[in-house]
Amino acid sequence: MDWTIVILTVVSAIIYGSIFFIKAYMITDPKPPFDRYKFTATLVVAAIIGVIAAFSGATLNEVELIAQLGQYAGYTAIVETLLKAIIGKAWPTSFPEP
């Protein structure tokens, strides 16, 4: 198992989560607080995807590193969205809706 794949997937999730937090922070008023539970859930999903990719034999290609970062961020976004659709309001968040 190649741990660099798992690390790369988690890094891509950090970038993905940061981009969408910055987007929400810039366009909403009042400014949203940082939701550490939601961010942690994103990192857990990414780590699971990274472990699956590493066990399936994915290789790290330095020439296509940016493309691979985008792919892993996309996988994380798709899986996280599907889980949110299935789980619904049980998805981890620091700020539960009333």
Is residue 76 one of the residues assigned to a domain? yes
How many domains is the chain built from?
A: 1
Q: Check if the beta carbon of residue 37 is closer than 8 Å to that of residue 94.
A: yes
Q: Check if the beta carbon of residue 3 is closer than 8 Å to that of residue 53.
A: no
Percentage of the residues of the chain whose pLDDT score is greater than 70: 93
Is residue 48 one of the residues assigned to a domain? yes
DSSP letter assigned to residue 56: T
Question: How confident is residue 94, by pLDDT bands cut at 50, 70 and 90?
Answer: low
Is residue 35 one of the residues assigned to a domain? yes
Is residue 96 one of the residues assigned to a domain? no
The enclosing H or E element of 1 equals: none
Q: What is the mean pLDDT of residues 48-60?
A: 82
SS3 content of the chain, % helix, strand, coil (to 5): 75, 0, 25
Angle at 39 between CA 35 and CA 40, to 5 degrees: 115
Is residue 40 one of the residues assigned to a domain? yes
Is residue 37 one of the residues assigned to a domain? yes
Is residue 17 one of the residues assigned to a domain? yes
Q: What is the mean pLDDT of residues 51-78?
A: 82
Is residue 57 one of the residues assigned to a domain? yes
Query: In this structure, what are the phi and psi dihedrals at residue 28, rounded to the nearest 5 degrees?
Result: -110, 150
Kindly report whether the peptide bond that precedes residue 30 is cis, defined as omega within 30 degrees of 0: yes
Domain enclosing residue 72, as ranges: 3-90
